[in-house]
Structure 1
């Protein structure tokens, strides 16, 4: 068992009762993974990558957990499965998506199972807007830049609106 580590996650949903899906995911994460200590506002986001689908609701979470990164990822995937997520196509519609964005102070992992920090997070407004709300001063371990600074310099024009 690892000592308590801070992790930041991003939730997304664009099927069914999107608000309820986010709430259910937060409750399950709090129960099964660790203590959720920060929850961003909910953001309405245009679809990214595959644009012929409904818009997403996104929300960032901060939590403390005893799980090491790979076990945390497995637990997150288990919650997605419990909630009925079916993976049919890359970037397709989903009841719930739970992404691990950051883990610990300076964890960097790049292997077949897990990449940390999330390899695309610095390019995506739908990740950075909610994350900035709860972790503006978190320093990206690769870029050595605060989340707030990455967001300020972002070129992504995707529509992301705080609800």
Structure 2
């Protein structure tokens, strides 16, 4: 059987978040776990940010960050690897939308690709309105142009911080 040729390296941006247990420690540990994945190399990592939960208000605040990686993994393969990391950190997909999470890893951007598949939408839906994604992303890639959405600087300019605060370095 012939193997497909290796993919060209792509820069992908990942959102990390947690609000159960020790979320700061979890995000830091998840950074190491993602960086240790085969064919994934970290190139930048934002500060840690505290944000109010997007979903039900009766849950703790989130700790969020954004990570840039270079990878040769295909988008769905990368998604599967990220979901395996989530599972290793105790993430249970119980169908509760925007509920509390031990770890949430999102594939925000994958190069310049626009992906619309049953399991994956890139750019990540809601990216343009979520301060807990836009501000950390802007911190590590201020000149980024989001496929289908435009310059990141413009998206940040239109998005209020809504209490988002920097809480430390990762």
The TM-score by the shorter chain falls in which range? over 0.9
- 1:96 paired with 2:116, answer no
Q: What is the distance in 1 between the residues matched to 2:105 and 2:21?
A: 16
- 1:67 paired with 2:73, answer yes
What's the TM-score once normalised by structure 2's chain length? Answer: 0.90
Can you give the 5+ residue segments of structure 1 that lack an aligned partner in the other structure? none
1:127 counterpart SS class: helix
Q: Select which of 7, 22, 26 maps to 2:12.
A: 7
TM-aligned CA deviation for residue 25 of structure 1: 0.6
Alignment of 1:1-163 (within 5 A): 1-33=6-38, 34-88=40-94, 89-104=96-111, 106-143=112-149, 145-154=150-159, 156=160, 158-163=162-167
Runs of 4+ in 1 over 3 A off after TM superposition: none
Q: What is the distance in 2 between the residues matched to 1:20 and 1:142?
A: 34
TM-aligned CA deviation for residue 153 of structure 1: 1.4
Can you give the 5+ residue segments of structure 2 that lack an aligned partner in the other structure? 1-5
Q: What is the distance in 1 between the residues matched to 2:61 and 2:148?
A: 30
Report how many residues are paired. 160
Over aligned residues, Cα RMSD in angstroms? Answer: 1.2
TM-aligned CA deviation for residue 157 of structure 1: 5.5
1:3 counterpart SS class: coil
TM-aligned CA deviation for residue 5 of structure 1: 0.7
Q: What is the distance in 2 between the residues matched to 1:138 and 1:50?
A: 31
Q: What is the distance in 1 between the residues matched to 2:44 and 2:9?
A: 15
